[in-house]
A and B are shown apart, each in its own frame.
Chain A
Amino acid sequence: MNLPTLTSADFFPMLPAIIMVVGACILLLSEVFLSAHSSRGYQAVLTAITAVIAGVVALKMVFEPAREVFLGFGALDPFSSFLTFVVCVALALATLTSAGFLRKRGAERGEFYALMLFATAGMSLLAISNELITLFVNLEVLSISTYALTSFLRRGTRPSEAGFKYFILGAFSSAVLLYGAALLYGATGTTHLTGMVLPLANAVRTNPALVYTGALLVAAGFAFKVAAVPFHMWTPDVYEGAPTPVTALMSAGVKAAAFAALVRVFVTVGPGLDPQLPLTLFSTLALLTMVAGNLLAIPQRNVKRMLAYSSIAHAGYLLLGVAALFATAPGEAFSLLGSTSLGTTATPQAVARAEALRGILFYLLAYTVTAVGAFGVVSVLERREDEERGTAWDLERFSGLAQRRPGWAFAMAAFMLSLAGIPPTVGFLGKLLIFRSAVDAGLIGLTIIAVLSSAAGVYYYLRVVVYMYMRPVPEGAHALERNWMTEFALVVSTVAVVVLGIAPGPVTEWLVQAGHLLGR
């Protein structure tokens, strides 16, 4: 029998995921030996430490040479490693905010953190999946964990409604994705992404309907996960109903992982497809998502819901970057600075694509630190009693926050400015990179719409700042409890938002490396 040989090098890219799974098992086992009243403060810390270790390992791996592992089922490349780092950051920050959140509700349990770790492990594995079935399994690992997390606080109708909706619609989208994958397999006879390119080029000629429908369905499955319009409908309801730290993890981590898989699938099989197809597809999705996300966020007075719509809008900007990956005719890289590609020997396409990849990665990192921080502030302001009435996240909650908790208000202001894309925050740089790569790719019209819609977005972000700094403290406002772990997470996020906005230098070193996707 001819057995494939696997070496430890094959398991190496899974290291962050393995670390997280082991951590999850430890938490799960330790939980069952605790009584209901035992102190569980260490659980969040343990989870955060696990996430940090996994993140550091991932960051180390950014400098590994890109290669296929596990007989081509996985791909170790700087892109996936950096993405793993991003989801680990999301996990660490979300975990720290959840400790206080759960304690207030008497719901601190090891299962919660174990599920968070499982979900993140799934994200990490999704980023390295290089084969459709592996990809699907990992997508399900992360999805099922998040379904469970969404309805973790079972009491009350909102969480169970949210969990149920997410589960039903998620199953629907998974089915769509699986169907698309099956069609692609039918067209090419393989599920390996790298092996699919050549047969796909044949199949496009002989059986275009099959290929196009397959690609479309796969894209639709991902579009659901990244909450792209018109596959976004679940987002506000689920984000609102889920425990706020879980919402933070979903909006940052799940989105990042889904984008990773989306980019990998379409960039890898792209050469086999008519290049016009992904371009049209993602341009359309980007257009709809940016515009609708921003428009829908404007009338929201519920900050958590507003952030949900904002997350949709940000998915739109990211899709703009994805569309830029498939630009067929990158313009003569005209930049205002008038410089010509100094010292590079790569083709304009390759340069433009690496730029776009870097833009997407930096944007994901920027959005992660900002969004998780913003949800963190939301989570410290809400109270369980108001959730059923839906007033827990009303803008009024932010009135006069600057006088009551200047630190929180400052952090929230920084997050809002970053989400709005105002310098000197990291959000501005992220937008700058994405928009720049889109302009370089020749998507001028779409970029103009992106700029205009993000300008419209400034309105609802700044409204929060106005409430915090220019409204009086409402009478009878309830006391604001402090929690050192949450505040630590807020400090870290704020520092990241500001420092990366001013001096992104160190990160760009990694980014330059991470712009490299296997085989591209």
Chain B
Amino acid sequence: MDPSLNPLASYLPLAVALLLAGALALIIPSLAAVLGPKRPSAIKSTSFEAGSESSGPARQRFAVKFYVVALLFIVFDVEAVFLYPWAVNFQSLGWFGYVEMLVFAATLVVGLIYIWKKGALEWES
């Protein structure tokens, strides 16, 4: 098909790659299930926890502060992601780019002040 007629056509290789990846992900585990020998016993069915006795269910609740830190990490990580290409093109972007980035950083500073004063950065509280 002429790609100019249907722009989706150019994505065909991607679709093939996706299909292959999906197929592999399905096939390999099922191969193991089909080919591997199965001799279950009681001791084999217990959950494995670094050799020691398992204590309680594996699904535990994490304290919310982990999530907060994770979220904060993402926010500032993304800032870095944006900063990097900007820094590379700093010369050509000129003053406009500089001011733009200042505004961007200032917005994040507002956020930082907010979480700081709210106590989100303090582990023990």
Contacts and interface: CB of A to CB of B under 8 A. Distances in A.
- Verify whether A and B have any Cβ pair under 8 Å: yes
Contacts of B93: 3
A503 interface: no
Range class of the A interface residue count: 10 to 19
A32 interface: yes
Contacts of B6: 203, 206-207
B114 A29 contact: yes
Interface residues of B, number: 15
B92 A29 contact: no
Interface string B65-104: 0000000000000000000000001001100100000000
A25 B8 CA distance: 43
B63 to A, nearest CB: 17
A456 interface: no
Contact of B92 (A1, A33, A187): A1
Contacts of A203: 6
A28 interface: yes
B70 to A, nearest CB: 17
A32 B121 CA distance: 14
B59 interface: no
B7 A188 contact: yes
A189 B7 contact: yes
B98 to A, nearest CB: 13
A210 interface: yes
A32 B118 contact: yes
B61 to A, nearest CB: 17
A9 interface: no
Contacts of B44: none
B117 A32 contact: yes
A186 interface: yes
A479 interface: no
A346 interface: no
Contacts of A337: none
A6 B103 CA distance: 15
Given A1-B92, A3-B92, A28 B8 contact: no
A28 B114 contact: yes
A189 B10 CA distance: 11
B110 interface: yes
Contacts of A25: 107, 110
B5 interface: yes
Contacts of A33: 117
A159 to B, nearest CB: 18
B113 interface: yes
B110 A29 contact: yes
B114 A1 contact: no
Interface of B: 5-8, 11, 89, 92-93, 96, 107, 110, 113-114, 117-118
12 contacts: A3-B93, A28-B110, A28-B114, A29-B110, A29-B113, A32-B113, A186-B7, A186-B11, A187-B8, A188-B7, A189-B7, A210-B8
Interface of A: 1, 3, 6, 25, 28-29, 32-33, 186-189, 203, 206-207, 210
Given A28-B110, A207-B8, 10 more contacts: A3-B92, A6-B96, A29-B114, A32-B114, A186-B11, A187-B7, A188-B7, A203-B6, A207-B6, A210-B8
